[in-house]
Amino acid sequence: NAIKVGYRLFDGAYDYQNEKEAGEGIQRAIKEGLVKREDIFITTKLWNNYHRKEHAIDMAKKQNEAWGLGYIDLFLIHFPCALKYIEPSKLPYPAWWTDAERSSAETDKVPIRETWESLESLVDEGVAKSIGVSNFQAQSLYDIFTYNRHPLSSLQIEHHPYLVQPELIQLAQENKIAVTAYSSFGPQSFMELPPAFNKRARGAQGLFEVETITALAGKHGVTPAQVLLRWATQRGVAVIPKSNSQDRLRQNLEVNGFDLTAEELESISDLDRGLRFNDPGFYLPDHPLRIFA
C-alpha cells in the first residue's frame, strides 16, 4: 500500500524485527513492476549488542540478506551505546537486554570509532551506499568528525515540538548532514508501547490536541498531522511518519501544498519542553542507560 500511495523511503532496523517481511513486500512490488530497485531507498540500523567490529560487519550483512535487495542505501548506528554481545541464537531480539533471561543490561567497552569504522568497511564492500548515526548528540558527532573517511551523511533523531533540538540540527546542517525526524507526532508515536516505555507519553498532552497546532490546521485547511510534518520539512528536516491507514499515508505525503509563516513556525517551536520520549534512561529502572544525560 505504501508503495502504491507513493512512498519510496523505508526506515527499518534490526530492533524492529521486520526487515525480512519488509524486504519481501518491496521485492513483490519490484516484481509487479510498480517500482525499480533504484527507486527505493532503504534505511536500516545496527543494534547496540553488535557494536564490536566483527559483530557489526556480520550483523549488517545478515540484515542486508534479510532485506534481499542487494544493498542497503543508508546504514545507521542506532544508539551511541554499546551493550554486551549476545548470540542471536540465544536471544534473537535482545531489546535492551544482554542475557537470555532478560535480567541484565550491561554496557560493553567499545568505542564509537570502532563501530563507525566497521560501517565504513561496509561502504568499501558495497554492502551500504552511505552511513550515518541515530540518537547521537553533538559530542559524538564532533568525535566522528576527527577520523571519518566516508561522510557522516545522516542523523536521525527524535524531533517534534516538545523536543526541538535546534542547536543539534544546526550543527548537522552546517556540516552537510541530512537530518531525519522520527516520532514527529510526539507522544502519539509511543502510546502503543508497553507501559514502561510510554510513561512520559501518557503524561503529556497529545500534539494533535494542542491549541497552537489545531488552530493552524484550521487556518490552512489541513490536519494537525500535516501541520507537524510541514513544520519539520519547511525547516529542512526530513520526516518518516508511520500509519496503518492508507488515507493517512496519503495525507502525510501531501504536506508541501501549503507554507507556514516564520511566525507560525516559531509558535510551534515555542512548544519545546525538552521532553524526550525515546529515552533508555527510564526504560529499565534497575539498569538505566543514561545516553542523553
C-beta of residue 101 within 8 angstroms of C-beta of residue 55? no
Hey, what's the cell of 181?
525526524
C-beta of residue 33 within 8 angstroms of C-beta of residue 27? no
With CA atoms as reference, report the closest residue to 48 among 92, 100, 89, 95.
95
**In sequence order, which residues have a C-beta less than 8 Å from that of residue 89 and are 6 or more positions away?**
none
Establish whether 159 is an annotated binding residue.
no
Residue carrying the nine cell digits 516505555: 197
Q: Which of 16, 71, 182, 283 is catalytic?
A: 16
Judge whether 16 counts as a catalytic residue: yes
Q: Are β-strands 72-77 and 152-158 bridged in parallel, bridged antiparallel, or unpaired?
A: unpaired
Q: Which residues are catalytic?
A: 16
Q: Which parts are annotated binding residues? A: 78
Sequence ranges of the binding site for substrate: 78
